[in-house]
Each structure stands twice: as C-alpha cells, then as structure tokens.
Amino acid sequence: MTLQVVTANRLGDGRVVFLADGYRWVEEIGLAHVGDTDEAAKALLAIAEKAAADRIVVAPYLIGVSAEDDRIMPTRYREVLRALGPSSHPEFGRPPSATAAVHR
C-alpha cells in the first residue's frame, strides 16, 4: 500500500505546506490528508493543482510517506528535511507530530 500526500510551497511566503482535509493547507505533515490508493492520490493532486491555479500554492506534487508508529514521515530524505526543517538549524524546524488516522 503506497501512501502519498500532496506537498507544495505557499505562494506568499514560500513555506512548506501539505494538503489537509477541506482544501486546507497545513504546515504539519501529521495533519496531511493521506491517499492510500493511486486514485486517491490523483484526486488529491487535482485539488492541489486547482489551489495552484488559485495562487495559494506553487508547484504541488505527491510524495511517498510511511505511517509507522502513528507518525507520518516522508520516505525520501529530501522531503523529511522539507517537513521537519533544515538539519543544520534545528531551531527553525518543526517537530514530527503524531498523525491523524490515515484517510481513505
């Protein structure tokens, strides 16, 4: 089961955001809406692309995540850095947060 979430950068301030329920964009990956099928992921991306056209975010894309220990974490290290902040400046980072239940 490949879990995916949509991520992007917010247009106005460039911050990393994730697509959550209700067309919201959140900074905490733990609150992201997780798609657990290809169709679900595609549907999320379509919502995100509309948000890009509406100038809320820039260049949304899907990333793979794991949901071990009730915690959503990206599988690619680059995305871990985006989600948690630079390893060189932990004071600017976001702690990994517990997830909501994985959505269908």
Partner 1 sequence: MYRYDNYDQTLVSERVEQFRDQVNRRVAGELSEDEFKPLRLMNGLYLQLHAYMLRIAVPYGTLSTVQLRKLAEIARRYDKGYGHFTTRQNLQFNWIRLEDTPDILAALATVEMHAIQTSGNCIRNVTADHFAGVAGDEIEDPRIYCEIIRQWSTFHPEFSFLPRKFKIAVTGSPHDRAAVKVHDIGLRMHRNEAGEIGFEVLVGGGQGRTPVIAKTIRPFLPKRHLLSYLEAILRIYNQLGRRDNLYKSRIKILVDSVGIDRFTQLVEEEWQQIRDGYLDLPVAEIERIRGFFAPPPYRTLDAPVPEYEGALRRDFRFARWVRTNVTPHKRPGYAIVTLSLKPTGGIPGDATDAQMDAVADLADRYGFGEVRVSHEQNLVLPDVAQADLHELWKLLETLELATPNVGLAGDIIACPGLDYCALANARSIPVAQQISKHFSDLTKLLDIGELKIKISGCINACGHHHVGHIGILGVDKHGSEFYQITLGGSADENASIGEIVGPSFGATEVVDAVETIIDTYLHVRADGERFLDTYRRIGIKPFKEKLYAAH
Residues that bind partner 1 (CB under 8 A): 9, 11-16, 52, 54-55, 58-59, 76-78, 81-82, 85-89, 92
DSSP run (H or E) holding 65: strand 57-66
CA distance 52 to 11: 8
Q: Shortest gap between Cβ of 92 and partner 1 (angstroms)?
A: 6
Q: Shortest gap between Cβ of 68 and partner 1 (angstroms)?
A: 17
Q: Are 31 and 100 in contact (CB under 8 A)?
A: yes
Q: Shortest gap between Cβ of 79 and partner 1 (angstroms)?
A: 9
